[in-house]
Chains A and B, each alone.
Chain A
Amino acid sequence: MCGIAGLFGKSPVVTEHLGEHLGAMLSKLSDRGPDSAGVAFYRDPAPAGATKVSLFSPDPHYEWGHVRDGLATAFGGDPEPEVRASHAVFVVDADADRAQEWLRERHPELRIMSAGERIEIYKEAGLPTDFVARFALEDIQGSHALGHTRMATESRVTTQHSHPFSTGLDLCLVHNGSLSNHNRLRLELQREGMTFQTDNDTEVAAGYLTWRLREGASLREALEGSLRDLDGFFTFAVGTADGFAVLRDPIACKPAVLAETDDWVAMASEYRAIAVLPGAEHATVWEPAPATLYVWERALV
């Protein structure tokens, strides 16, 4: 069992309090996934030509200033990090490939959680309600966000095993369910040049989407391909720079609820995580059909 939450703001009622609302949703999903929690926020786009990266350090006393100084020397500018608990977000004055290559080479002790124009990922082992407070989610504004609470069934409980998983620039995946062909698929994707940080099944699904997108598929094609190529149970929520998508496997035994008002679109594993949103009692509420892709993007709303 895990919990998923997605929130897409259509008005300042939600976008100005995005972190507060997503935090409330995650807290309601705490008992679906007490092992760890994670979020992806889409906000504050980096200037053209620059890249926003989210970094994780397992060292609680890590000196982020060293990274800042190195980035300033290598790429110029003033990359002052925004630090939240074990994570820091930098805006690097370089394209995503160069920024990530430099970070991997100079700071192998760090993990790159996400990269892109807008995305920020924070995730950590521990109780979701503690995570919400520790990462001060209530301060965060933004256009849309995804969250996850994890009850591990197939691999260890660590920061790296937590969701969301990055699936490329400004893309991420959260998952409720379990995949049964992930070991074979991981081998096949490794042959295609993909690399994996953990033995987690969801990371393979993320890697699959990344690979399909790299090969030229649209997000819709990649997700519809997952219905054929992934064996197992899943409700997926995928974050993009412009919105999010929801997909359930054809058997659809992992829950999902969608709801919409004039101010927001939300998805969650259970309605009680939506009930905390403003005006939820008057929302249109429905259950997404199996094997059917639902997409919200800013351009469409």
Chain B
Amino acid sequence: MATRTEPAVEVVDLERTPLRELNHRLHAPADVPERWRVVNPGGRHAIAVGVDAPIEVDVEGHVGYYCAGMNQQATIRVHGNCGVGVAENMMSGSVVVDGNASQSAGATGRGGLLVIRGDASSRCGISMKGADIVVRGSVGHMSAFMAQKGCLLVCGDAGDALGDSIYEARLYVRGQVASLGADCVEKELRDEHAAEVRALLERAGIDDVDASEFRRYGSARELYNFHIDHAGDF
């Protein structure tokens, strides 16, 4: 019987290796190691973007803009804070941020899971289209703006204008909501929603929060169609 061994970890030091070389190697169609460790990120932008392989990438430190953007299949963990647009337009896989995330975390994501263990600032989940986002802390203003599909679950508070012009994304917030945006309303948390919250918490590895503590928000569907009766308002 063959002995199962841990896959070797490919270590890339961004103080010595150009970022373009790292991303080029992560994009190579064959011969991509399964596990990667990126050290000295130094706040650089666009680290590990466009990965399309079932690999694991651990980034040891703070990153700049658009880290893990367009991710497919990969599990990318950032052991630090993120700049603008972490995991934007994610298609699948998962991105986990140990620290805080700046604006527009998970923007336009179509699939996969984004977990932020700290806080996310404004516009978290803006125009999300099917990805799931779990924030252990709080989110800033205009989060889930024009969110179309997927779930945004916030264990802390939400800033002003949550879910402005929202479509069919589902929002769950455990703490205070500073204000709701246009056409976003609170909705009943039925059993199927509590089950969804439980599943999201489990996927995010959060076990000290009860699903019943969340409130659900979504679209009132009043902005979907143009009402001729309102023509005089414009």
Contact B81 A271 (CB under 8 A): yes
Contact A275 B42 (CB under 8 A): yes
* Most B C-beta atoms less than 10 A away, residue of A257, A271, A281: A271
Contact with A along B70-92 (1 / 0, CB 8 A): 00000000000101100000000
Q: Is A134 an interface residue (CB 8 A)?
A: no
How many interface residues does B have (CB within 8 Å)?
A: 19
Q: Is B117 an interface residue (CB 8 A)?
A: no
Contact B62 A255 (CB under 8 A): no
Complex Cα distance A281/B42, Å?
A: 9
* Most B C-beta atoms less than 10 A away, residue of A252, A281, A285, A287: A287
Q: Is B174 an interface residue (CB 8 A)?
A: no
Contact with A along B129-144 (1 / 0, CB 8 A): 0000000000011000
By beta carbon, the residue of chain B nearest A272 is: B43
Contact A271 B141 (CB under 8 A): no
Chain B residue contacts of A273, Cβ below 8 A: 43
Given contacts A252-B122, A255-B83, contact A272 B100 (CB under 8 A): no
Chain A residue contacts of B84, Cβ below 8 A: 255
Contact B100 A271 (CB under 8 A): no
Complex Cα distance A275/B64, Å?
A: 11
Contact A285 B62 (CB under 8 A): yes
Q: Chain B contact residues: over half helix, strand or loop, or mixed? A: loop
* Minimal beta-carbon separation of A36 from chain B (angstroms): 22
Given contacts A275-B62, A287-B121, contact A270 B83 (CB under 8 A): yes
Complex Cα distance A271/B61, Å?
A: 11
Q: Chain A contact residues: over half helix, strand or loop, or mixed? A: loop
Complex Cα distance A42/B122, Å?
A: 34
Q: Is B35 an interface residue (CB 8 A)?
A: no
CB contacts between A and B, total, < 8 Å: 46
Given contacts A255-B103, A281-B61, contact A290 B122 (CB under 8 A): yes
Complex Cα distance A275/B42, Å?
A: 6
Contact with A along B8-36 (1 / 0, CB 8 A): 00000000000000000000000000000
* Minimal beta-carbon separation of B17 from chain A (angstroms): 16
Chain B residue contacts of A286, Cβ below 8 A: 100
Chain A residue contacts of B108, Cβ below 8 A: none
Complex Cα distance A255/B83, Å?
A: 9
18 A-B residue pairs with Cβ-Cβ distance under 8 Å, sorted by A, are: A252-B140, A253-B103, A255-B84, A255-B103, A271-B43, A271-B62, A271-B83, A272-B42, A272-B44, A272-B64, A273-B43, A275-B43, A281-B61, A281-B62, A285-B62, A285-B100, A289-B140, A290-B140
Residue numbers of B with Cβ under 8 A of A are 42-45, 61-62, 64-65, 81, 83-84, 99-100, 102-103, 121-122, 140-141
3 nearest A-B pairs in the assembled complex, by CB-CB distance: A272-B43, A271-B43, A275-B42
Residue numbers of A with Cβ under 8 A of B are 252-253, 255, 257, 270-275, 281, 285-287, 289-290
